[in-house]
Structure 1
């Protein structure tokens, strides 16, 4: 899908800085206030996405849980498919399998960096999808080898595999072989449109039936817009440096809650099917409640 449904899915991220023991309560609260999604993080040194997703899925009944993201350089595709398959089998229709290249500096820290990032990502997606579909996979690629493996317990409903990528070549690859793409925090409507152009070129060369564009966006709710800007200044500066843009160009939902519906709508109109809000600062649960109330979904 792109952004053609009547309203986008709205989810929230469980920030990597929060204590892991807070996750199940946050997931249950999101479900109670009507959120569609919860996205968990896998950043080196913080926490693992598979274990986090398992906790969140077990604590809820309806909430969709996304991996944002599992770096393919850290995970053998067979093991990744086994873990994802278990979750998808026990919680059908509720897992989104997010994968990506991983932050180069972090991959170097653990000896996992590769120079053939595009090949590794594509071959991992192909292998994992085949295994989740219940196929016997034989793949002798440039980066991935799977020689005649089949999952004993494949899920009845394989999860969609989406990529968290940034660069044009990776976006095109995502359009060609993945079921969706995650855009990192800071992407506004213009960046959504630009990304969809690259994704569209990939889709034209691929055979996937649909493609869900998922946009992560910073959130800080405060009736005082100046105070909100000050509260997120450091986070925005760090993200701007990572994206290679000016801080002023980092899109976010900062300020009074009444502004949230228009900003979410702008992302949706540009093509986002799902908007995942990442609360910054104190009281992330309260910020999630405020956002859902402003959107009329609580």
Structure 2
């Protein structure tokens, strides 16, 4: 059973916005529901942790849904993940999505000193543990990648917490929908969404498919390319994303960048990224043009569009300018 085609997507904003520390976001979060946004999302890699921004959001807004997209499964123990989610759920009952995933070695091994071992199995095991723990079950026994002597949450969430997986290719996508509450995917072109949906297969009601879309709302195309190309070259040359785009059929498009990166030439790898890749994976243009392109990601089965918005410097001149930009990008603009 697929989701109804008429079902409108939820719209989420990733916080903190680049260039703005989380303590300066309250005025944004408080206004988001008026602008049509339904969610606030956060992520965890090499900068801000995923949970503190969501705790602040829960305190600042009584209505916004909050989600992690994603928390790496290697860098926090299974019980720590469960208890952190359960605590956050007390602040936002019925409004929390816990997004977990394998992440990339750069965020697991390079900066945390933790081996990036068996990412699929580790993600599956953490999903199984956390799902059971959040239901209040006593969990004990051996998993493939860890063993639990015995753990039970003293205060499991009264309202269910959805657990979704960061997923790129079919194995993780199917795991998210068979054993979890769905998946979150990102860094793909709008025309790639049907292939992801095909890999997911039939979606029972209540399952989530979140698509994270990267946006730089400026009409200065050269600025947008300079600002976003280094990140894209870095992330697209991580093995999970390289394999993702090979599966999507973009291997030849990215071949030169991959070869230069492997040869130890990151600057050359950046320059070798075709403009069509930079412009396609990190949308730029006027807010209205960006919004039109964002809407191309909404296909039947996509339940949430999560925006990662990198604002140009001129937008930060005033709160009014910033809110106006988010308004023109968002769902209420239509």
Q: Identify whether the pair has TM-score above 0.5, normalized to the shorter chain.
A: yes
Structure 1 gap ranges (5+): none
1:77 and 2:71 correspond? no
Distance 1:275 1:167 in 2: 19
Partners of 2:184 and 2:210 within 8 A in 1: yes
Cα distance change of structure 1 residues 22 and 277 upon mapping to structure 2, 3 Å threshold = same
**2:215–2:290 Cα contact (<8 Å) kept:** no
- Indicate the residue corresponding to 1:275 in structure 2: 305
Change beyond 3 A, Cα 1:175–1:233: same
Residue number in structure 2 paired with 1:60: 61
The higher radius of gyration belongs to 2
Mapped contact 2:86–2:134 kept (Cα < 8 A): yes
TM score, norm. by length of structure 1? 0.85
In the alignment, does 2:210 pair up with 1:211? no
Answer yes or no: is the 8 Å Cα contact 1:180–1:212 preserved in 2: yes
Closer, same or farther in 2 for the Cα pair 1:151/1:215, shift >3 Å? same
Partner of 1:152: 154
**Cα offsets for 1:79-99 (capped at 9, x unmatched):** 111111111133112211010
Deviation of 1:209 (Å): 5.7
C-alpha distance in 1, partners of 2:92/2:84?
12
- 1:65 positional shift: 1.3
Count residues in correspondence.
Answer: 291
On the 8 A contact 2:59/2:91 being kept in 1, the answer is no
Q: Per-residue displacement from partner, 1:24-67 (whole Å, max 9, x unpaired)? A: 343223234231111112113x1211222111211111111111
What's the counterpart of residue 218 of structure 2?
Answer: 222
Larger mean Cα displacement after TM superposition, 125-134 or 46-55: 46-55
Structure 1 counterpart of 2:264: none
Q: Is the 8 A contact 1:41 1:68 kept in 2?
A: yes
Counterpart CA distance in 1 for 2:324 and 2:231 is 22
* Aligned residue among 24, 27, 37 for 2:26: 24
Superposition map of 1:161-180 within 5 A: 161-180=163-182
Q: TM-score, normalised by structure 2?
A: 0.77
**Are 1:297 and 2:298 counterparts?**
no
User: Structure 2: which 5+ runs fail to align?
Assistant: 243-253, 255-272
Check the 8 A contact 1:2/1:211 in 2, yes or no: no
